[in-house]
Amino acid sequence: MGWLLNTENASVIWDAPKPVRIESQSADPRSVGQCPSVLDFDRHNFAINCPIDVHLRLNLTAGGMDITNVLADKSPIRADMLQRWIVFQPRHEWRHPQRPVLQMLTSYVFVWDDPVYISQYPPMQHYLGDARPGIQINGRFPIDVWPRALQWAFEWHDTTKDLILRRGEPLFYVRFEWPDPSAPVRVIPAKKTPELDSYGGCPT
């Protein structure tokens, strides 16, 4: 499976996709860490890490909402860039009027010539400490016909709690589906080509 970043400067903050491996400290063959089904499930998941620290606070009102960047001057990204990078959808597009939806734009594009689907999941196998105050909105689509940049979408359920994301922690997982489910998955760097740009799925 090929992967690339759709902007030249993105490699400064975005890490390569990492296989999900939960190390076991038990060598007992009956251990959950030695279970073939568990190991097979893990090796098909890849983690996309959060590139920067983010700490947002939300005040939802009848007329709109106030968003506070709690890190302020300590934020690793300028306020204007943060507003372009993390985008809140208009209220009339939310699934629920009291649950704001935001999207974080990432630079990851996955490509493959044969029919294959990619799915996005929350980082369910990593313990992140502070629970995020809502749910990730997941998606699934065929990358052989729609090689587009991924987005992280989040539905903010408890607006009395802050949204805290930490650099280096998994932001979400990706998983691939193809005709042979037993085939091993390997993710390798791909090259952005004029043909891929002309296909329309990898905008800059």
Contact 69, 79 (CB under 8 A): yes
pLDDT of residue 203: 43
- SS3 of 58, please? strand
Q: Is the Cα torsion angle 80, 81, 84, 88 positive or negative in sign?
A: negative
Average model confidence (pLDDT) across the chain: 87
- Tens of pLDDT along 108-135? 999 998 999 999 999 988 877 777 999 9
Using pLDDT thresholds of 50, 70 and 90, give the confidence band for residue 204: very low
The angle at the Cα of 158, spanning 53 to 89, to the nearest 5 degrees, equals 70
Q: Is the Cα torsion angle 39, 43, 46, 50 positive or negative in sign?
A: positive
pTM for this prediction: 0.87
